[in-house]
Structure 1
């Protein structure tokens, strides 16, 4: 069975790009969310194997959403997605329990490497 992934980004274009990379590599994108609050709801609903989470989003940012998901499931696997120059936020995310991070614009091989490493 394909491993399931929740894709979270406020930009539809970015969600489409990452979804494309994932599906071409045999992963199943079970849901998408455009902000942190939606991400937490979709996580509860689908219990995906992994979440790709944008850091800066409206409503609720990715780090807050990460912390909420970790409260629901301490074993949740979350990979943060950040634009260049967000190093401080990436450090916060790793301290909050993120497993890895990928930098935008996405490079397919780096995305897949991070996901395979995280899923073990």
Structure 2
């Protein structure tokens, strides 16, 4: 059985892209969320092995969601996804407990490398 992953991004297209990369590489996408609030709910409900989390989202941003999930489960494994030019936010995310980050547009090998490293 593949590792269970929750994909969080406000853009359906980005969720589809990362989901495609993950499923082709034997990972199981257990759920998707379009904002941080949904991500926290889905995390509580499903307890996935790993979360890919967009930083910039409506309702609740990725860093706030990361902190909430870490509050529920300190051992949560979360990889942040960000567009270019969000270095300051990436640093905030790492300090808040993110394991790694991937830059958009996604490159399949980089996504898989970050996930394998985080799950190892």
Judge same fold: TM > 0.5, yes or no.
Answer: yes
Q: For the residues of structure 1 that align with 2:82 and 2:2, how far apart are their CA atoms?
A: 26
Q: Cα RMSD between the aligned structures?
A: 0.3
Q: For the residues of structure 2 that align with 1:111 and 1:45, how far apart are their CA atoms?
A: 25
Q: For the residues of structure 1 that align with 2:3 and 2:72, how far apart are their CA atoms?
A: 20
| Structure 1 residue 115, shift from structure 2 partner | 0.1
Q: TM (normalized to structure 1)?
A: 1.00
Give a deviation string over 1:7-28, Cα, whole Å, max 9, x none: 0000000000000000000000
Structure 1 partner of 2:53: 53
Q: How many residues are matched?
A: 120
**Aligned with 1:105: secondary structure?**
coil
1:1-80 paired onto structure 2 within 5 Å: 1-80=1-80
**Aligned with 2:59: secondary structure?**
coil
Q: TM (normalized to structure 2)?
A: 1.00
Q: After the TM superposition, which parts of structure 1 deviate over 4 Å for at least 4 consecutive aligned residues?
A: none
